[in-house]
Structure formats: structure tokens, C-alpha cells
Structure 1
Amino acid sequence: MNQRDPNAAHERSTVIRALLMRPLLHRRGRHIRTLDLARRHQAELRAWFDHHLGWRLHVERDRLRLFKVPASTDPHGHPAPTARQCALYCLILAVLGECGKQTVLSELATKITALTGAHSRLRRFDATDHRERVDLVAMVRLLTEQGVLAAVGGESTTSRSNEKEYIAGTGDALYDVDHRTAALMLASPVPPSQADGPQALLDVGPTHAGTPEDGLRHTLMRRLVDEPVVHWDDLPSAQREVVRDHGDDLFTAVRMGLDTRVEVRAEGAAVIDEELSDIEFPKSSAASFAALAMADQLCTHIASSQPRRTFVSHTQLDDLAAQLTEQLSKLVANINGQPIDTPRVLDASLYLLSQLGLITPVRGGIQCQPALARFRAPAGQGLRPLGDDLMLFGTHDLQQPTTSEER
């Protein structure tokens, strides 16, 4: 991507950032300018996504679609559809082709029932089951957010009421169907009917990735732009070698392409950008306050251990939670509506830290991840208030990435 024109580079970065956050954009509302910029720079943008990420960019006058294949399916603490909901999502897309310009929930249910009944390997949809209707509506709402469906009358109280009535078995809801957007929804290197299993839907073989090294580079770039933090120890040896040999080029591509900051440490790297992959620590609850305080306790414990270890045993966790409970009891009245006590503080804090990928439960205790250091309290200030923005891995000088063998 030519960076000699700062304004053009900024415009391209604007489109790249928008697509990484939302891979399907429509010419409506705040996306109008993004589509105009994408059409202006479509050749350079296609080349950037293809070269750095191995993703195909489709540009139309009214739609912009990045066929984004993630490096992993880890939701990183964000709520994700269940396996059943994912299946229904795909089934809705499959039957929409048989619908007209409008459809209703009961029609979708009938067509999905017929489709699942005709294929023995598909779990049959039962529209008489309350849980099935709840999941169907949840996926219809997701497709509405993505522009495939549009509730007639808009996202009004009435349309939501109609959906609730359908779930209760007493009503129905009407939607406009955008068939062109529906046709652009599937992003998979291989057709699902030819995939050996779910993981095969994410595998980009040599035909799509070019050389084996291209495939490794694409996987690393996908993790960098999609995940809050990439720890080198989590990577296969071949990918760590790519980081060692070509890390500077990868980090520069992310910095320049996304117009953002990449923090690189001996333990890993992360894009420091609240709009992109950076996950904000949960706020406004006693449980999140307990988790933040526990993060600080764990970091202090690790820093003081000799030799330094990132493993913390259950016994040590109990001791840390007891100390923390004494401090928290002076600041908050309860956790999740229950009185403050050590087991409750421990369970609530470890659950949130695990959801954020800051700790990993292992046999006998937990393993603390390097990114936990972001949530250390400044020296001498006690419990750190929510919302402080410390950098990942603390605030020490940057270090060059190394492989496990070199450490």
C-alpha cells in the first residue's frame, strides 16, 4: 500500500478498520462514506487484504464485504451463539433463497422443518419447542443486525413484541429480505458441503494461501488484528520462526495499514486500540471490581515469587482471596447480590479473568498470562480504580520477541 500520500493512506486505513470490526457494510447511515472511500481505493485495498491476510474483498456500489476467515473461533470473552443457534443461522440463510421479498417467522420455521426433515444428518427443527423458537428468533435478530433481514416498520417496540408473541406461540413477525446481502454472508475457503468437519471451514490450504510461508504469515496477521493479545508461547514453532524472521514487517504492516499502535514484548504482541481488538475491562459491578483487584494481587504475587513463576496454586489463591475479601468488604456490600465472602470473591474474580483470557485454569491452580500485568495498580495506590488505561505487559521498556528456545 502506497503511504506517500498521507490523506489517501488515512482513507484506506479508515476502510480497513471499519471492515475488521464489521466485515459487511451497507450504504446506509454512517457507512456511506466508508463505501465511497472503498470504491475510490478498491484496488489497493484488495491487494492489502489479499497480501497480508489472505482475505478476499468484494466491493459493490451499495455493499462492502470482506470475506474474513478468523485464525481461531475463540470469542475472547464476548458472548457467542450456541452450536444450535449457529446451525439455525445457516439454515435460515439456506431457506431464504426460497422466500420472496418478504417473509415471516412461521414461514422460516416451516421451511427449516422441511429441510432438516429431508436430511438425516441434520437435527430436525421442532417449531413446537419453546427453546427452538427462542433460538430461531435470536438468529433472525442477528441477521437483522447484519442487514439480511429488516423488520417491517423498523426496529420498533411493535416488531419486538411480535417476535415475543411468536416465541410464546401466539403470533408472528414480518421481515423484508435482502437477497443480495444474504448471498454475500458465507465466508469459507471451501464450500460447507465439501468440508470434512467444522475446522475445515477455517482451513486455508495452499490453493488459497499461496506458499506455506504465506499461510503462516496470514495466520499470524489474522491473530494480530483479531485478538486482544498474541502470546508467543501459544504459537506453533513454525509461526514463532516467522515472528522471529519477519516480525518487524508484520508489525509495520499492522501499524501502517490500521493506523494504530502495536505493542511488542518478549512475551507477545497486541494492537493497542479500543475500537479494534482491545477488550475493555468490565465495569460497574462488584464482580468486575473484585476481578480487577485480584489481577493486581496476582501480579504482585508473581513479581515477589522466587524464582518467578506464573503458576498460582489453589492454596495460594485462597490466601490471596482472603486478603482481597478483607479489602473489598470496606468498599462494596455484595457480589452478584450475595454477601461478600472469600469463596464468592474468588469464584467471581477468576471467572471474569478467565473469560478475558488473562488466566488459564490448569491442574492444581491457574496459569497467569503476561497480559495480566496491564491491570497492575500503580505503586503505593492500593486498589486501582476502574477505567485506568495501562498498557499491556505493564510499562517497562519494549523488548524484542523471542522463541521459547531462546528464553
Structure 2
Amino acid sequence: MTTPLGEVLDSRRAAEFQKAARALLKEPLLLAHGPYADEYRLVRQHAAELRDWFDRNVGWSLRVDAEAARLRKTPGAPADPTHPAREASRAQAPFTRRRYVLLCLALAALERGEAQIALGRLAEQVVLDAADPQLATAGVQFTLERRDERLDLAAVVRLLLRYGVLRRVAGDEDAYVSGAGDVLYDVERRVLAGLLAARHGPSTVAAEDADDRLAGLIAESALDSDELRFRAIRQTLTRCLLDDPVLYYDELADEELVYLTRQRGFITARISELTGLVAEVRAEGIAMVDPLDDLTDVRMPEQGTHGHVTLLLAEHLAAAGGEVGRGELERRVRELAVEHGGFWSKSAKQPGAEAELVEQALTKLTALGLVTRTPGGVAPLPALARYAVGETVVLEPGTRTPQRKAPAS
């Protein structure tokens, strides 16, 4: 029996639509050239449907032109610090406060500049802008006199290269850092103009507190009717389910929890239709699980020493059932190094390495919504229970009767 051509085409179009949506969620800025050119073309093909879905369900705008596709995402939790910008290098070190400031100053300088700019010229402009008294009062200093400052600026530029705001014409950032040369860039002004994801310009937000300023950047218009309030709640919940590893019920306001209880099936079905994510509903909350495992910037389990340590500490924390101090976790890593050190890197077995191993593990577990940091250490969250080791079931030879053994301590 053959499948009608119409059904085949509909199925193919639905698959392409889902692939385009996943591409935007993974890389909200897709360039018409470079490694994501195929995904960009797919997004452009389905731009109208994608624009409608994101606007209606999450309140995100999508702009597609001949150079780029830009999904202006705003997170469900704007102040969440667990998914920082990272270096466009193998190390992928998270951006520091100074690098974020330099990024903003560099973008401002590029906006005022010409179609081409040298890194040295950009640095001069950033130094001038960094001398603003308000920045000095906030403790921000940038003079380019130290190597670590030049390294920070180079990291900012490489991030802008990755985003497609800049294109390298000649030179190399390492040469600039060492003082041996300069770098020339083309400025992609249309990409630059679409980089900021905000409903309101920063200069129009009068709040002084950082959290209040973030809220002001993405604040919606007056919600003066039940319909608008319910739409805002639905969009916030959908953002959280799309962006966050786990949505815990106890983190929701009463009105949000009531709405989610009534509309959970509708919201999760819409997300599944768009992305292929599968809703895992538990007593404590909801996680949208990705069968393809590529819609995340933090993976677990992960290969390598750090991935192994993280998994073993997750098992330890899940078994603890309550708050665990940093000292105990470091002692546990030293014990694990004796047991598993043959599989770990040489540096991970050095005396004192346990502090860094614990910090990296906790950073990942926090970003995945599996633990929360406390003044005394760290406390497990409900989703961590999936990493608990239960009883081992052993079948006796020649029988079908299970014999249970307690897990190893």
C-alpha cells in the first residue's frame, strides 16, 4: 500500500518545520553563511509559521532577512546566572563581569563606527568609554595596560566573530594580545542591529537595581485584562519549559501554578509539536526531555574526567537526601580518585584538584536544575533522584526469581 503524495509532503514539511524551530532554539542567531547556513535557509523557508508560533506562544519576535535569522529570546527567569556567555574557544570559560561590560562597550563603539574597524581602534574607543564616572563608581576599570585586560577584549571580539557581528579581514587576536600586530574586521551592521533582545531600549529604563533593569528591558505592556494576563502567564510558562531543564511547581506564583494545572496538557503538547521534546511530568514539576539530546548547552552524562566526577557526585548527593557541605564533597572526590583514578586525567589526581573538580560539578548540576547552592554547601533538588542508585536485582542461575542486593556504599 503506497502513501499518498500529499501525506508524504505534509510529513516532510512538518519535519522541516520542527528542524527549523530546533535550530533557532539552539542558535537564536543564524547567519546566511558559515556553519549554520543550511539551518538558516530552512528557517527562512518557514519564517512566517515560525514567526507566528513564537510570537503567540512565547512572545519572542523573529526577524529574517538576507543575511541572518534572529530569534529575540527572553528567558523565563531573566536573572538566572547558570547559562553565561562563554569564550569561543575550546576552554569555553564563562564570561566574567568585566567581559560583559567590555562586550556592551564594544557593541556601542561598533554601532557608532564605520564599516571596517581595527582591533586597536576599537580598544581605544572602549578605553575612553570605560572612563565614564558611573563605571568607575561601579568598580569597572579598563586601561589596556595589563595582558589580562587585552585577553578579555580578545575574548569579547571572538564572541562577536562567532555571532557574525564581525568578520576578520586580516591579522590575529593573539598577535594583538602579545603586542605583535593588529587585526582588521568588517562590521556586519544588520547583524549588529539585531543583536539586542529587548522590548525596550536600555536608555529608556530608569531603574537603578540590576534585577529591576533586566525586568524593565523585557517588561510587557500593561496587562489590563484577564485575557492579556493569562496570555502573559502562558508565555512565561512556555519559555521556562523551552529554556530551563526543569520547571518546579514550588517556584511558581499561585496564579501561574493554577494556570499550569489547568493547561498543562495543552502547553506541553504545543511544545512537543514544535520541537519533538517529550514531557516528563512528576509530582514536583515538569521536564521537557529531548530524545535527540542536542537542545542543551549542558550535557549529563558527559565523557571525560569532569563528566565522570559530576555523575559520581550526583549519585552521592542523591543518596544523601539533604544538604551536603563542600568539605564533604571534596573528601568524597579524594575517595573517588583512589577508586577511579586510573580512568581520570593526571591533573585530576593531583593534591588539591578536588576543589576545582567539585566546583565544576556543582556548576553543571546547578545549571541543570538538579541541585541548589546553600550557605552551607549544596542541597539536592527532586530531579536529582533519577541519578540515585537503587537496589541491584540479580537473577539466580536457571531461575526467573529476582534476588535483591543492597547497593554498594
Same fold (TM over 0.5): yes
CA shift digits 1:157-191 (9 cap, x unpaired): xx4xx312322234211112111111111111110
One-letter amino acid of the structure 1 residue matched with residue 37 of structure 2: I
Query: Once the two structures are aligned, what percentage of the paired residues are identical?
Result: 31
With the length of structure 1 as denominator, give the TM-score of the two structures. Answer: 0.77
Query: Which segment drifts farther, 28-37 or 169-178?
Result: 28-37
CA shift digits 1:52-103 (9 cap, x unpaired): 1101111112311111112234353665322221121121111113333321
CA shift digits 1:231-254 (9 cap, x unpaired): 222223332222112111111111
1:330 Cα offset (Å) = 3.0
Question: 5 Å matches for 1:122-133?
Answer: 122-123=135-136, 125-133=142-150
How many aligned positions are there?
Answer: 360
1:57 aligns with 2:57: no
Question: Which structure is richer in relative contact order (CA contacts within 8 A, separation 6 or more)?
Answer: 1
Equivalent residue, structure 2, for 1:307:
none
1:194 Cα offset (Å) = 1.3
SS at match of 2:112: coil
Do the aligned partners of 1:335 and 1:344 also contact (CA within 8 Å) in 2? no
Structure 2: gaps spanning 5 or more residues: 1-8, 87-93, 395-409
Structure 1: gaps spanning 5 or more residues: 154-158, 303-310, 383-407
Equivalent residue, structure 2, for 1:391:
none
1:28 aligns with 2:33: yes
Question: 5 Å matches for 1:77-226?
Answer: 79=86, 80-117=94-131, 119-123=132-136, 125-152=142-169, 159=171, 162-195=172-205, 196-197=207-208, 198-199=210-211, 200-203=213-216, 204-207=218-221, 211-226=228-243
Residue of 291, 297, 303 corresponding to 2:316: 297
SS at match of 2:339: coil
Question: 5 Å matches for 1:341-356?
Answer: 348-349=357-358, 352-356=361-365
CA change 1:61–1:286 in 2 (3 A) is closer
What is the root-mean-square deviation of aligned Cα atoms in Å?
Answer: 3.2
SS at match of 2:283: coil
SS at match of 1:207: coil
Between the aligned partners of 1:232 and 1:361, the Cα distance in structure 2 is 19
One-letter amino acid of the structure 1 residue matched with residue 165 of structure 2: V
CA shift digits 1:144-163 (9 cap, x unpaired): 0000111125xxxxx4xx31
Do the aligned partners of 1:271 and 1:278 also contact (CA within 8 Å) in 2? no
Between the aligned partners of 2:303 and 2:146, the Cα distance in structure 1 is 36
With the length of structure 2 as denominator, give the TM-score of the two structures. Answer: 0.77
Q: Which runs of 4+ in 1 moved over 6 A?
A: 320-324
CA shift digits 1:352-378 (9 cap, x unpaired): 135422222324553211221232346
One-letter amino acid of the structure 2 residue matched with residue 246 of structure 1: Q
